[in-house]
Structure 1
């Protein structure tokens, strides 16, 4: 049976379902080392989620006052030495637990704190050098290209064609789809694995997202906002 290229699953268990993928992105605390070993034995490459510019934890000296309105996490000073140590430590811990690699999230600082772009690049490089993951997957991070492409192994274009909204799920308007298409064409010039992560609540919307991903050379995964499908 042909395995699908990637799965983003933020639940627990379902090892047999996850074994049907080449790579799976998981929450680092949701799986025990024995479960990670089982997936590795099935030739599944497990990637641990890691946020690089937002913190869901208790108050800390690296946090900014502002918070992400969608998820509630605090934005951080990316170059704060304690934040750097925190992120690198979490990366090392995930690899030590048995994860093959890491999925780097919250990389779009060019939209919030553009002055942090060079600091974020430095942090990504530190994660690569010190944690030594076998595979490093970045979520967007377009503001750090082309330098980012020299550090990571793959890029995910989240919400490439379809997104979640406050009420439901929907395709992007035509002008946004065109803008995303232009970015995708630029990504194709890079020697990286390329994926799309879209959100849909109907088969029609999911089919649209998958067709469009194939059109632009992206390996597709479609889920719900909670990433509860495997």
Structure 2
């Protein structure tokens, strides 16, 4: 186990050149700041690990894949520096996945909200179940999906991004997500998904490591400015989360 605390855990197993990274949090697999740091560090470490060719990202349990940012921590931030630092945690994760030298496969078993959709978007290939609906609810609480927007728009396009963002109370089902390019394949259940995932990842891990590295670079061409862009976006989110509108909205959601 790489990291474990009352605020969640991250564990990694490596077998046959495939690393499986699993994150967990008791509140619908959400991400507090320290879990974001641990996740970023693990992706960066695996990128440098010569024993790994493929990375699978998954969350614990059979329910929600990821509820995004921790509402408890969003309510706790009291100044712009703290708030920007928190949202920079998601910027760090996405940039780590983007610059990782290994192909990253997402294993999505359930619903994803906000930052969870951003993590899915930063995967190179995604297996999901029919239960894996998505929502970007940020506007409804007075902020916006600014940090994750480049990653999501890269996958689904600006028009679909606008549809997903502006209808912030609406869930989009897995077929919608697949039709827009967020999901690569959708399965009726987790058993079938895991069988297909095992076969696909094993085949991928048998390929030429240099070829995989070069295709990874090709897939992410044109995103080099994210090293600056995502942190500029974190500052926007950091400013907005301090507003009375957002604080009140978060308190209502926690009731």
TM-score where L is the length of structure 1? 0.30
Structure with larger RCO (C-alpha < 8 A, sep 6+): 2
Q: Which has the higher strand share?
A: 1
Q: Which has the higher helix share?
A: 2
